[in-house]
Structure 1
């Protein structure tokens, strides 16, 4: 069964949650130490994390979970057209120009000016297209992948493809599937024997949340959502040597806003706020992420306890503690199958374009005009 079209899996016009995987094409590692050449590519993990953090501040897309592995990246994304609808035309134009400044004669002209923003605002047809793209998961992945590929090629002094192709996408259709997929993503380094616990797995969302709970802060990589005054930009162009401005821009881009943020401040909060009306988009106002809406009906402490327990026991035949079993059962998960799902994820959902309980997968297949999704029968063994 061929992979379904992107338009069937997600749309920028409706809220949907998607598990995305992007894999490196080369024998050389995406990140980590290449056992053949001995080269250390570990710094690329932070390139990718910081790029995701930057994009989280401008796209109307929530980053729920992620992990950066040696040869591939996992991200769970939720697009938010409801948040996008609250943004003014000027906001949309500025956010777009921060990521896609267009063709410029000089690198130091890449920062958008007030005139650039107003010029784009006046082009209503283009602005309509751009507004839709800011909630499009495909455009988010393009903005993530292309700069990383260019930077890696420059460091490696080579040309050609860096990623093996377009990202793989799996639509997540219920909270049960979301919890399972989120834990699979967070525990990838443990499953790969790169770490012994989520607490020791940098460049994963679990690690970021655990460190943030301790008060750990980092320099923010969020874009500074303020246009440069046109007159100031013109004066800088006339009076400042190009090389000097390039050096200043390079320093500024390392921390554009000059602020610090909790290590998970750019990620979507984990627990859902049951006291908030579902129609409220919960737009984020501090400039680090799209919204303040959570995505799971359990607390961060319960989620971390569950992660640590699965990481410790792996696929051993050890009874699940009653307190954790109640949490799983309340979400419709077969306790006896839980570790099996997380530890052998690809056997159940590796070839599926959809993740969730069998009835949810069936409903999604009917939505797209199909009779079934691959993996439905295996999903029935996992969930109650």
Structure 2
């Protein structure tokens, strides 16, 4: 296991007594991204794009540079990168545009594993067009999604398949390559929600064969924002709802670019490349295995999602403690300076399918590149103390 302490000094937000496992909702921001945003704001280049003066040219250059870096991170082309305020906003905007070409009898396939940001936008757009949305079920006992459950819903009427690369609640990672192959065999398009995947695993949209992939830089050490890769042929035919003067990628980007945010995104990509996915995975997988093993020894603690290794999961761990509300567990951990989340995390269908509404969903702990062995052990000890104290 690689020692993550080497990266901790790069995160000003970690200079507190807290053990931060709240990472699935947003990681701490790396120093270089903070500096890049500040430097842009102080540079005098605060302007807008497409002008003839120097500051405007710098805005154009910054935006182009960020697109190039994001394309390299995701494996696509720089002219296929859309930068928006959030993934939820990006998908709502996209589905609104896509729905102009839908008609009664068409079908959309979603899944119970997905966060609602990759479900509700499809439901709203489908309702307006009289299109049917079919939902692939997870295994209620494990929370995993068998690709066959998705495949059986795909047919010649399917227009789009919307599927997550990894659960934002429990880390389960379905076989999206198999799902994409099936969709393409039926001439359906695919949107992959990789928000909970890109922080932990490398993606290559070229080899995946999907049509759209979304990710959120604030999940991988950058500022709050959303990035969407859209295949070039779809961009050329998409009937986006936009201002009359919008053209090219700006058809999918509402309003003026947030250039200071773009600067932070570009720096966050640099950091991801500096660390590298091999080291990211080595750090996170080792710590996640330690957390899973530790939770398995605690009476009443139950991990939801894959527990048989790291091949079919990421480092996001969802668990419950028998007899207790998940919010009570999270509140106790907060008293121990351990930051976790509790709830459904907008994975509404997953919590329903696993019958966890009565306990308030999951307790969620996420491992990132800056977490340490000591922090994982602190979390395990706190849960163990909780169960022992309550059992007395």
Q: TM-score, normalised by structure 2?
A: 0.28
| Bigger strand share | 2
**TM-score, length of structure 1 as denominator length:** 0.28
